[in-house]
Amino acid sequence: MLEQAIRQYNLRALTTVEVIDELIKLARELREAHKRGEQLGLSDDELAFYDALGTNDSAVAVLGDDTLKAIAQELVATVKRNATIDWSLRESARAKMRVMVKRLLRKYGYSPDKQEQATVLVLQQAEALSEEWAA
DSSP secondary structure of 21-45: HHHHHHHHHHHHHHHHHHHHT--HH
Most confident of 3-7, 27-31, 54-58: 27-31
Checking if the pLDDT of 72 tops 70, the result is yes
Q: For the chain, what is the mean pLDDT?
A: 82
Give the pLDDT band (50/70/90) at residue 66.
confident
Answer yes or no: do 90 and 105 share one domain.
Answer: yes
Our count of domains for the chain comes to 2
Predicted confidence at residue 107, as pLDDT, reads 92
Checking if the pLDDT of 127 tops 80, the result is yes
Answer yes or no: do 68 and 19 share one domain.
Answer: no
Predicted confidence at residue 74, as pLDDT, reads 92
Q: Over the range 47-75, which residues count as b (16 or more CB within 10 Å of their CB) and which as e?
A: bbbbbbbbebeebeeebeeebbbbbbbeb
Angle CA(100)–CA(131)–CA(16) in degrees, nearest 5?
135
Domain extent at residue 56: 42-134
Answer yes or no: do 22 and 52 share one domain.
Answer: no
Element (H, E) at 86: none
Q: Which residues contact 58 (CB under 8 A, 6 or more apart)?
A: 111, 114
- Global pTM value: 0.68
Mean pLDDT for 82-93 is: 77
Q: Which residues contact 109 (CB under 8 A, 6 or more apart)?
A: 62, 63, 67
Answer yes or no: do 12 and 57 share one domain.
Answer: no
Answer yes or no: do 60 and 87 share one domain.
Answer: yes
Answer yes or no: do 49 and 17 share one domain.
Answer: no
Answer yes or no: do 72 and 121 share one domain.
Answer: yes
Answer yes or no: do 50 and 28 share one domain.
Answer: no
Answer yes or no: do 63 and 29 share one domain.
Answer: no
